[in-house]
Amino acid sequence: MNENLFASFTTPTMMGLPIVILIIMFPSIMFPSPNRLINNRLISMQQWLLQLTSKQMMSAHNSKGQTWALMLMSLILFIASTNLLGLLPHSFTPTTQLSMNLGMAIPLWAGTVFVGFRHKTKASLAHFLPQGTPVFLIPMLVIIETISLFIQPIALAVRLTANITAGHLLMHLIGGATLALMDISPTTALITFIILILLTILEFAVALIQAYVFTLLVSLYLHDNT
């Protein structure tokens, strides 16, 4: 119980050097490239899930938006695998770092905005001023819409960071309470252990859902700009 509550969120180092880059590259090992004429069950299931997700996410896009399919599928695979690997004991979850999530959100958001201003300049500018706005409200609405536009990548990053961090903190607290209660009240410790198991199952679902939500919101921003 004396362990620092936020120790698991500290960037790991080896010989004084951060090893975040190696941790970020590690999930790619989970998705090997098929090199056989007939794939095994694991690769077949991965391809089926990718096709299902891609079809559901890209069905509303036009031809310009569908060119982002590979990037969006790579994004959801990376976030989901990183979140799942972070649930292992004594592991580090890069998606609990706001700086990393901002590093993913800002370039993707900026790319969608750039595509919108390039291909739909009038429609993109029209979002800043809704039709029928009174003249005296025009400056205020332009400022509000501009702020809401620039808040989008921050909201993307903060949502992912907060959900993953909150789940890890809850698991840490309940796990520590279970260990502390084992000598005091075994019955209560058993109850908290069952709660910990249920929370772990929920965190598996949250890890996948947050990856899908992050990618889906980027897809929606892209849809609004293509």
Mean pLDDT of 105-121: 87
Which residues constitute the domain of residue 195?
1-225
Given a cut of 60, whether residue 2 has pLDDT beyond it is no
In three state form, how does the secondary structure of 16-62 look? CEECHHHHHHHHHHHCCCCCCCCCCHHHHHHHHHHHHHHHHHHCCCC
Nearest one of 195, 167, 179 to 86, comparing CA atoms: 167
Look at residue 106 in the predicted model and tell me its pLDDT. 92
Counted domains in the chain: 1
Q: Express each pLDDT in 34-91 by its tens digit.
A: 676 677 777 777 778 878 888 877 777 787 778 888 888 888 888 888 888 888 877 7
Full-model pTM:
0.79
Whose tokens are 């990548």? That residue is 153
Given a cut of 60, whether residue 110 has pLDDT beyond it is yes
Mean pLDDT of 111-115: 87
Listed in sequence order, the residues at least 6 apart from 217 whose beta carbon sits closer than 8 Å to its beta carbon are: 156
